[in-house]
Structure 1
Amino acid sequence: MSLDAFLMGFAFILIHLFANELIPSNRMNRLKWFSFSGGLAVSYVFVYVLPTLHKEQLLVKKYSNHLAMESELYFIGLVGVLIFYGIQKVVRKAQLKQQPHKARALFWLQILFFGFYNMLVAYTVISHNVLGIQAVFYGLAVGMHFIAVAHDLWREYEDIYDKVGRYVLALGIVAGWILGITVTFSPLTEAIIFAFISGAMILNVLKYELPPDDEAHFGTFTIGVVSYTTITMSLKFFFQW
């Protein structure tokens, strides 16, 4: 494990343990914070996740005799969207029907799946050997994403999240570290993992990190999008990410 990946993973763990301490308590500042964070996350999806997914698809098509189309990994990403959306939908349905015991039980399922999601994200960081300035910008976007997800889970069931949930999510990061250090998957398997978490991340970014119209601060959102995109595209041009 590189020092860059270690520091990034350690930051992710701290984010899950103390996410709600990082968010401003003042409502207006909080809305601006989430708008800026959402801008970074949306930019990250379009300038990093989707291009990388396309690159992985081309590599898989080149080196695998089993995949003949040009959209297999996009299908895996769609499966990631479907699974995570389905879990969240079931939890929300139980809440709307005022079935508190069932909703709390299903919330545990949601926590476990996000722990699994964190494990795959951490594994991807290790396996793709993200280093240097690229690690900084990758970590910034994913870290902001983790804070938004953690805050939303905390708002649903504060007691469960504070007592157990945040530790499950943090352990997911640790599990991904261990997996990345001890196990070497084939390029095809790694591509499938990346595609799955890409689909889940796209869903979570659009669901958790884009504030509703009445809570969004468009100026701050735009600053987040433009600044992250400009810097990332410049670094891609100069350093051939």
Structure 2
Amino acid sequence: MPLPPTFEVRLTEKRQLSPAVRELTFERGDGTPFAFEAGQWISLILPRVEGELRRSYSIASPPAGSSRFQLAITHVEGGPGSTFLHELAPGATLTAVGPQGFFTRPLDKTGPSLFIATGTGVTPLRSMIKTAVAVGHGLPMWLVFGVRRESDLLYRDEFEELAQKHPHIRFEPTLSRGSEVWTGRRGYVQTHVPDLWHALANLGLGAPHAYICGLKRMVSTVRDLLRKELNATREQVHSERYD
């Protein structure tokens, strides 16, 4: 297998998505389109004084023939990589390696999709959903997204707008530490997977597929739930973890 390409990128924009997460927009230094598949990830080489670091992040933006792409990066207290990137100023350049990864969603797959994410695990799913919308893919796409608090719901306005405009898209956020005024779903994502999975399966549109991304513990729990209790086949369950 050939090695992924290495190229220079420049930081163009930063915005705060939640108290701990910033979205960084990079563009290729040579201005050429950045080709990748929705769901893939990229590595950044960080030239720190203390020593070079390499950090990998799922691509949050959809492939659109642009030289730009977005990453959503959680600031880990004391984490050298995330601290470096959160402090990076627009105009700074880095070396990138990629794209890489096989956590992708072919648009010719039949059947509806259940997307299951926690934290920044939602970023590759955002890329998949926006890609499907861009090409007019009209099969049901339901996203159950678990975080602690409302302020942690990355891209909330965007997902709500997509669900409002496209009846086949549903956004189902769930909070593990929601305030008293929260009227949506509560608890961990696995609490809500069975009813959503059965509802998709009963639409008569083909066998559903699950796309799961987050920390290892959640991913393992949801995979076991789907395979052992909900009788999903291996081919129906796709996952990626980031720890």
Q: Relative contact order (C-alpha < 8 Å, sep 6+): which is higher?
A: 1
TM value normalised by structure 2: 0.26
TM value normalised by structure 1: 0.26
